[in-house]
Amino acid sequence: MTTTGIAAAARPPAVEVHGVHKWFGGRRVLDGVSLTVAPGTVTVILGRSGSGKSTLLRVLNHLEKPEAGHVSIGGEPIGVRRQGNRLRELRESAILAQRSRIGFVFQNFNLFPHLTLLDNVAAAPVATGRLSRQQAQTLARELLTRVGLGDRTGAYPRQLSGGQQQRVAIARALALRPGVILFDEPTSALDPELVGEVLSVIRDLATGGTTLVIVTHEIGFAREVADEIVFLHEGRIVEQGPPARVLDRPEHPRTREFLSRVL
């Protein structure tokens, strides 16, 4: 075991999903998903459209409540607390507090259109009472510089390209110093020439040791950054492992079929 391995083993998993089932109406969208993400690692989730990838991410931060199973982030159960040997549902305010410790980057950026880039990034640490306005603005300037937008802090989202907006969204996710950042197809809405700048920022986070869970169709990028690839089909994980195995020697027919289409 490597030194990092020992360090990781001493900490609780960054993400732990156990036996999660999710139905929408009569339709089962997640069918017994279990997954462990070690701290400081990158997990890439692949699967065709409708396989449940977004739902899985949304279950991780309790935007969707699973009908069965449970999720822990950094060792803390999400959406519930233990009372004796029973699990009780958390109040909405407690769920919001938990959610604020999980970064989420959406396909469509979801920036606040009426706020400057600086305020987009500074808003959440102030709203959650973690930082004063001045501290949050200092942090926002640092983070915007880190994503290459230190000279645009006073601009508004509409004045930026999609790639720049997505980089702001990543800075905004970092502002809450989350234990894990979830990305749902972060480059799917971008013109092809803007994809690289966003992947480059995500790559920097990956090499810097931030725990990441990424849904993407960028297979080359997945191969490069992922420690673990998870292949989801009809709400089940049908194959999982390091990129060299899952991408180059897929065992499951569904994984093979998917890869033969996208590669």
Residues that bind ligand ADP (CB under 6 A): 24, 29, 47, 49-55
> Can residue 165 be called a binding residue for Mg ion (CB under 5 A)?
no
Q: CA–CA distance from 36 to each of 9, 128, 237, 256 (Å)?
A: 12, 28, 12, 23
Least Å distance, CB 104 to ligand ADP, is 14
Which residue lies nearer to ligand ADP by CB, 24 or 112?
24
**Distance (Å, whole) CA 245 – CA 229:** 9
> Can residue 51 be called a binding residue for Mg ion (CB under 5 A)?
no
Q: What is the DSSP string of 51-66?
A: SSHHHHHHHHTTSS--
Least Å distance, CB 208 to ligand ADP, is 27
Residue in the block written with tokens 């004796």: 84
Among 41, 43, 51, 54, binds Mg ion (CB under 5 A): 54
- Look at residue 30 and give its three-state secondary structure: strand
Which strands form 76-77's sheet, in the order they lie side by side? 27-37, 15-24, 68-73, 76-77
Which residue lies nearer to ligand ADP by CB, 54 or 216?
54
Cβ burial of 15 (10 Å; 0-12, 13-18, 19+) is buried
Least Å distance, CB 142 to ligand ADP, is 33
Which residue lies nearer to Mg ion by CB, 57 or 199?
57
43 binds, among Mg ion, ligand ADP, none (CB under 5 to 8 A by kind): none
Which residue lies nearer to ligand ADP by CB, 51 or 187?
51
Q: CA–CA distance from 209 to each of 23, 173, 232 (Å)?
A: 34, 15, 25
> Can residue 216 be called a binding residue for Mg ion (CB under 5 A)?
no
| Number of C-beta neighbours around residue 139 at 10 A | 19
> Can residue 255 be called a binding residue for Mg ion (CB under 5 A)?
no
Least Å distance, CB 66 to ligand ADP, is 13
Do the beta carbons of residue 234 and residue 65 sit within 8 Å? no
Which residue lies nearer to ligand ADP by CB, 168 or 181?
181
> Can residue 187 be called a binding residue for Mg ion (CB under 5 A)?
no
Least Å distance, CB 53 to ligand ADP, is 3
Phi, psi of 248 (to 5 degrees): -95, -30
> Can residue 55 be called a binding residue for Mg ion (CB under 5 A)?
no
For Mg ion, the binding residues (CB under 5 A) are 53-54
